[in-house]
Structure formats: C-alpha cells, structure tokens
Amino acid sequence: MDDLPVLLSRRTFLRRSAAGIGSLALASLLDPALLGTAARAAEPARSGAGERWRGVIHPLPYRPRIKRVIYLYMAGGPSHLETFDYKPGLAKMDGQPMPESFTKGQQIAQLQGQKLRCFGPQSKFQRYGKSGIEMSELFPYLGKVVDDLCIVRSMYTEQINHDPAHTFMNTGTNLAGRPSMGSWVLYGLGSESQDLPGFVVLTSTGRGGQNQPIAARQWSAGFLPSRFQGIQFHSSGDPVLYLSDPPGVTRADDRRLLDAVDALDDLRDKETHDPEIQTRISQYEMAFRMQMSVPELMDLSHEPASTLGLYGAHPGDGSFAANCLLARRLAERGVRFIQLYHRDWDHHYNIRNDIKLKAEEVDRACYALLTDLKQRGLFNDTLVVFGGEFGRTPMAQGDGRDHHIKGFSMWLAGGAIKGGLAYGATDDLGYAAVQNPVSVHDLHATMLYLFGVEHTKFTYHYQGRDFRLTDVSGNAVKDILT
C-alpha cells in the first residue's frame, strides 16, 4: 500500500500524457532513478534477460555430435521417383493400370476414385561416387559429393495435404499451435550467437511447379515462450522489417528508449511474473544488437568472387543459392537452427520439364554449401537435411504426380552421418516404405540425439500434459550414424 501512490501516479502519467514516448524520455532525463535507469554506454547489451539464452538441458544426456542444423526444406513435395529413388519396375509398367494390391484402402489425395495408371520415372538415373549410389542425372553437382550423403529412401509421413503436412514435418503433429523443431532446439540448447537470433528462417522461390504458400506458423514457438520462435530474414530488400532507424534517430536515442521500456517491463514483471515480459525485454535487446549484426550478415558483396562463383550466387537476388551462402554465414556466427524454404516443388502437371528447373536451382547450391562447410571446418559439427513434406505418387496425374505419404526420400549430411549410404527402400513401384521405414518422429529423434538430447525426456509441461517434439513415438536412427 505504501507504493500505491507512486504506482498510480506513474500509470496515470503514462496513460494520460499526450506526448507519449516523448514524455517518457523527458522523465528519464529529469530523474533516471524514477524509472530505474542509469547512464550507460550505447553499445553494450543489457544483462539479465538480455543475455544469450543458454538452454534448459544441463547436462546433456549424450555426447553432442553437432552444434547446429541447416535444414533445406523443399516445400511442395519433391518426387522421389525423379530424384533419389530409381524404380525400373515402375518404368516397365509405364501406362499400365496400377495394381490394386498397392492402393486398395489407402489414402490418396486428388486421385481418389479415379482410374490409376503407372507413370514411369521422368528423368534418367546413374551411379555416382565411390559408393555407386544411384541418383537422378538432374543432380550432377550433388553427384560429386554423394559419398558425403546418406539418402534415406524409406521416409513416410501422416498428412497428405500441404499445410498439415508442413505442420507435421515441422512440429511432429498436424495440430496448429505446437512448437516447431527449431524452437524446441533453441529452447533446449540455447544459441551460441549473442547478436543474432538462435533460429533463423530464409525463403526463396523460383521456376516450375505450383507456388504453394508457406505460413509463418511453421517456425512458431507454439506454447513455448515466444522468444524461441524462428525469425524470418528477407533475402532481398530490408532483411528484417523495421530494423533500420527512422531519419534523425541515433543509436544513443535507441539505447535510452530501450532502457526506459525495459525498466517499465521490469516493474510489470515484478507484479505479474509473466514469462512473456522477460521475452519482450530480451527481444528488444536482440533487436537493438541486430541493427548492427544483420546488415553486415546480409551483405554478400565482401565475399570473394570465388565463393560467389562456387554457389552461383548474386548478392541481393533472393535466390536459393544466395540463401545457402547466408546459411553458411549464419552457421559461422553461432546460429543454432537455420531453415531454408525453397518453394514450387508441387508437380501435379508437367513434371518432366518443371522438376528440371527446380533441380537446377538447388543442385549447385547444395554442393557449394557442403563444400564450403568443409573448407571452413564446419562440416563435422553441422547436420544438413534436405527434403520436403511428402513425396509423389507412382501413379500419373495427367503428366504429373499427386501427393504421396507412404514413401519418399530425404538426404542428410555432415555431423556423424554415414556418407555414401542409401538407407531403407520402397517397394518395386516406389509406393510404400518397406525396408527400414523412417517416420517424421524418427527423424526428429535422430536430430535431437545428435545434439546430445534424449527425445523422450525433453518435455514441456502445458495444460496438464508433458509435451515433446516426438509426441509419443520415435526412435533415433543410429544405423545411419558413424
């Protein structure tokens, strides 16, 4: 009760003041102690809530094998049958009716109720590397590093339409509102970067295929504190909205305003103990530091011509190649989870020609990323993942393929991954995973295991239940690890 007059007068002043922030700044200048502020240098980060998040898992149950993930997300559902899983049996049956024994009682997207006919592979395959792994000729650059890849040909998922399938691949459930895998990793392990978010998202698009939208909830923190959500960087134009100061505003002005707002948030936090207030303080601090770190990060003009040539990247063009180069720069700066979405892999029609365009956009850049990580000593402690939300049907949809969940391919490379390995298999027609099936939960469990985390014990209590990224299933696929 003794503090009530002071609290009331301050609240009344802020509520009724016509000058708003200007009056707040004036008050802090007249009496810094009123708001708990003091004269500080303009650049240093605030302590406490403004410090780098170090995670909640201490100690780690296992020896960590990786420090970061670069997830190359091919949005739209790349066809395994034109990329990494050659099916000569399907080629022989091209144009013939699809055997009912494969499809009876199975979930099919847009082909439900139609006459189903086999559709042979629309690209040629050849063997690459010392391992002799068979892969599409659409990926000559990846063929050069195939001995670093583990191609998992036995993936399967549970959701057959794009949006819920994206949600399932990112969060382990088709229900909106759950944390994404990047948010789980950041919450559990923290970040090594003081000046950049621990979870960064970049998007790109190109030619060929249908341009399906990507919702920001795919990198949401869900019910975790919002400080763990992914932050989208725009690869062309302003990298982050409202990051630049308006004309006439200096960093010293920013620092004084931030201190005043932090002081108000601290007062509110003492009253409510709301974790989102601490999130707000930390994110204001991060935004302040990002005003210096992000422009430098996004400026590729200082990269050597040899590096730009390796990727085939042009600064500021927003391409997948430029984003791969940015991913390497983010990895160097300690960002924990880096996710690149490349869209237009939805090939219901004209798959023969359109998938060539998509392969051209990603093949060289993926090769360059792996090569660059090796050159800089980052390959062995980085997990690189490449894949989409599902695959495509062995059955024709005109001159394209429909969505498919029973079997598809992804590849992994880097930290502790066995290179030159083709793991698992689909049946003779590429319809279902039949050898060493790998679920989305298994993929998540493997990723967490490489970080040194036991996925069954990594939980967050919410609404009376302990939730985890892998829901109630999943096993780390240790057969693909060194």
117-129 pLDDT, tens digit per residue, is: 999 999 999 999 9
Cα Rg of the chain, angstroms: 25
Burial (CB < 10 A; 0-12, 13-18, 19+), residue 16, is: exposed
Residue 454 has a pLDDT of: 98
Instruction: Out of 93-102, 106-115, 391-400, pick the least confident.
Output: 106-115
Residue 218 corresponds to which amino acid? Q
**Is the pLDDT confidence value at 14 over 70?**
no
Find out whether 243 and 294 touch, Cβ atoms under 8 Å: yes
Q: Which of 28, 33, 32 is nearest to 14 (CA)?
A: 28
**Is the pLDDT confidence value at 463 over 80?**
yes
Distance in angstroms (rounded) separating the CA atoms of residues 392 and 81: 8
Greater confidence (301 vs 449) lies with 449
Greater confidence (415 vs 478) lies with 478
What are the tokens at 102?
Answer: 């494969």
**Is the pLDDT confidence value at 364 over 60?**
yes
The whole-number average pLDDT for the span 290-298 is 77
**Is the pLDDT confidence value at 374 over 80?**
yes
Residue 211 has a pLDDT of: 79
**Is the pLDDT confidence value at 295 over 90?**
no
Distance in angstroms (rounded) separating the CA atoms of residues 457 and 88: 43
Residue 8 has a pLDDT of: 47
**Is the pLDDT confidence value at 249 over 70?**
no
**Is the pLDDT confidence value at 198 over 60?**
yes
Burial (CB < 10 A; 0-12, 13-18, 19+), residue 6, is: exposed
- What pairing do the DSSP bridges indicate for beta strands 400-404 and 408-414? unpaired
Report residue 271's pLDDT band, with 50, 70 and 90 as the boundaries.
confident
What are the tokens at 91?
Answer: 């080629």
Q: What mean pLDDT, rounded, does the chain reach?
A: 87
Residue 16 has a pLDDT of: 47
What are the tokens at 244?
Answer: 């630049």
Distance in angstroms (rounded) separating the CA atoms of residues 435 and 251: 59
Residue 290 has a pLDDT of: 65
Distance in angstroms (rounded) separating the CA atoms of residues 86 and 386: 18
Question: Helix, strand or coil for residue 74?
Answer: strand
Residue 129 has a pLDDT of: 98
The whole-number average pLDDT for the span 31-45 is 34
Distance in angstroms (rounded) separating the CA atoms of residues 97 and 57: 53
Burial (CB < 10 A; 0-12, 13-18, 19+), residue 134, is: middle
Q: What is the pLDDT of residues 150-162, one digit of tens each?
A: 999 999 999 999 9
Greater confidence (377 vs 259) lies with 377
Find out whether 376 and 328 touch, Cβ atoms under 8 Å: yes
Residue 256 has a pLDDT of: 72
Residue 82 corresponds to which amino acid? E
Q: Which CATH architecture describes the domain 68-243+276-480?
A: 3-Layer(aba) Sandwich (3.40)
Residue 220 has a pLDDT of: 97
Residue 270 has a pLDDT of: 74
Residue 243 has a pLDDT of: 60
Greater confidence (360 vs 290) lies with 360
Find out whether 154 and 407 touch, Cβ atoms under 8 Å: yes
Residue 244 has a pLDDT of: 62
Residue 301 has a pLDDT of: 87
Residue 53 has a pLDDT of: 87
The whole-number average pLDDT for the span 240-259 is 65
Distance in angstroms (rounded) separating the CA atoms of residues 153 and 409: 4
The whole-number average pLDDT for the span 213-230 is 94
Residue 52 has a pLDDT of: 79
The whole-number average pLDDT for the span 192-210 is 91
Which distant-in-sequence residues (6+ apart) come within 8 Å of 13 by Cβ?
Answer: 23, 27
Instruction: Out of 148-157, 190-199, 292-301, pick the least confident.
Output: 292-301
Which percentage of the chain shows pLDDT scores above 70? 80
Instruction: Out of 22-31, 164-173, 397-406, 417-426, pick the least confident.
Output: 22-31
Residue 213 has a pLDDT of: 83
Residue 287 has a pLDDT of: 64
Residue 254 has a pLDDT of: 59
**Is the pLDDT confidence value at 417 over 50?**
yes
Instruction: Out of 42-51, 63-72, 396-405, pick the least confident.
Output: 42-51
Distance in angstroms (rounded) separating the CA atoms of residues 364 and 442: 29
**Is the pLDDT confidence value at 40 over 50?**
no
Question: What pTM does this model have?
Answer: 0.84
Residue 234 has a pLDDT of: 83
Residue 27 has a pLDDT of: 43
DSSP letter (8 states) at residue 441: H
Report residue 112's pLDDT band, with 50, 70 and 90 as the boundaries.
confident
Partners of 150 in beta bridges: 412, 421
Question: Helix, strand or coil for residue 218?
Answer: helix
Q: How many residues does the chain have?
A: 482
Q: Where are the domains of the chain?
A: 68-243+276-480
